[in-house]
Amino acid sequence: MLYNDFQGMNLSRLGFGCMRFASDPATGEIDQNKVNAMFDLAIQKGVNYFDTAYPYLGGKSEIAMTEALKKYPRDSYYIADKFPGHSLPGPIDNIALFHRSLEKCQTDYFDFYLLHNISEWSIKIYESEEYHIIPDILKMKEEGKIRHFGFSFHGGPDLLEQVLTKYEGVFEFVQIQCNYLDWTLQDAKKKYDIITKHGLGVWIMEPCRGGKLAKLPEEDSAKLKAFDPERSDASWAFRFLQGLPNIKVILSGMNEVSQVEDNLKTFETYQPLTEEEKNCLFGIAEGMKKGVPCTACRYCCDGCPIQLDIPYLLACYNDYKFAASAVAGMRLDGLDKEKLPDQCIGCGQCAHACPQSIDVPAALAELAKMYAEGPHWEVTKKARGEEIKKDLNME
């Protein structure tokens, strides 16, 4: 197993993401035997980092993870959990919710604790005085119940820079969605550089983009097989990330023993990609994109009579075109109403200014339609909020 040093700890470079455990087809419950078998194998081969979150798997992930770890000494592994500020039903007793996670994980401290899913929308909750989240969580750190504090992030580079500048010295690490597709599609390169510039550790989620890079279309897979017929598609995604020196932990949401075996093989040794291999991956990524080639040069912005943040909107558009998700919509939820894509009057100034010849008004009209159609985070948030109320006996 490859390890990385983080503040004197030896973290396994492969971390076990606990968001996607397989369920038993007969009962619909998490297949605990399978989870135990996967954990045993991973631990035997040196994995020591396990990442869960309060809302994962309807609140059952924390419990299943804890069950699979209970036969191992608490100081032989690291656990990461997350505070669900983006899912709260309203201002609540944050400390009670934090303690509920400790209780479900049968521990009195978290090695790593994250504010879950900071974005342009959820930052308003996390920073709200009424919600009082950051001071309460920092109190838990002062009391020794959190060893290392960070956040997971789904927003854009500008917000990331703002947060890290404002909270200099508060956070120690940031978890971002990064893989060879999102390197450009979701500006992961810029985010990686910003975190590194601020001297914090980079944690990676979605290294295979929800499995899409683990099972490529046949023709793309064949290009990689031509380099090495024995390697899985997923292993290429991991090797791309292994080449980025400030990445401390790469989380993989494994739900089959065969996936654990394959990933363990990839993380046995580091074999850097050649330039040719890297270019092949970027070529595959380009072919997967379905949006517009906006370079965020902002030449179009000054002339917009509505003063829309066109590159921001086009980044959301590209994300929607790849896969409509509530998280993509959440970035639009973060904008004031007068900055949403449906405010575009179609004057065409931007299209004339654009060196990439992007038909911006057409893209914004389509974005407005996709955003209206959903999925909407509000729906997920409402359901999760009800679960939190029930879990904390707040009815």
Positions that interact with ligand SF4 (CB under 6 A): 294-300, 303-306, 308, 310-311, 314, 344-350, 353-354, 356, 358, 360-361, 364
Task: Report whether 62 contacts 56 (CB < 8 A).
Answer: yes
Q: 23 or 349: whose CB is closer to ligand SF4? A: 349
Burial 146-164 (b: 16+ CB within 10 A, else e): bebbbbbbbbbbebbbebb
Q: 273 or 351: whose CB is closer to ligand SF4? A: 351
Cis peptide before 217 (omega within 30 of 0): no
Q: Report the nearest approach of ligand SF4 to the CB of residue 101 (Å).
A: 41
CA gap 95, 84 in Å, rounded:
12
Q: Report the nearest approach of ligand SF4 to the CB of residue 235 (Å).
A: 34
CA gap 166, 190 in Å, rounded:
18
Q: Report the nearest approach of ligand SF4 to the CB of residue 341 (Å).
A: 8
Q: Report the nearest approach of ligand SF4 to the CB of residue 304 (Å).
A: 3
Q: 67 or 309: whose CB is closer to ligand SF4? A: 309
Q: 18 or 368: whose CB is closer to ligand SF4? A: 368
CA distances from 5 to 13, 15, 165, 279 (A): 9, 14, 24, 29
Q: Report the nearest approach of ligand SF4 to the CB of residue 351 (Å).
A: 7
β-pair partners for 149:
113
Q: 15 or 341: whose CB is closer to ligand SF4? A: 341
Q: Looking up tokens 């954990």, which residue turns up? A: 39
Contacting residues for 94 by C-beta, under 8 A, at least 6 apart: 83, 131, 132, 133, 136, 137
* 181-184 CB contacts, 8 Å cutoff, 24+ apart: 181/209, 181/212, 181/213, 181/285, 181/288, 181/289, 181/322, 182/206, 182/209, 183/282, 183/285, 184/282, 184/285
Q: How many C-beta atoms lie closer than 10 Å to residue 321's C-beta? A: 18
Q: Report the nearest approach of ligand SF4 to the CB of residue 225 (Å).
A: 35
Q: 89 or 348: whose CB is closer to ligand SF4? A: 348
Residues, the chain, total?
395
3-state secondary structure of 248: strand
Q: Report the nearest approach of ligand SF4 to the CB of residue 165 (Å).
A: 23
The continuous run of DSSP H or E covering 5 comes out as strand 3-6
Q: Report the nearest approach of ligand SF4 to the CB of residue 294 (Å).
A: 3
Q: 284 or 344: whose CB is closer to ligand SF4? A: 344
CA gap 105, 111 in Å, rounded:
12
Q: 116 or 321: whose CB is closer to ligand SF4? A: 321
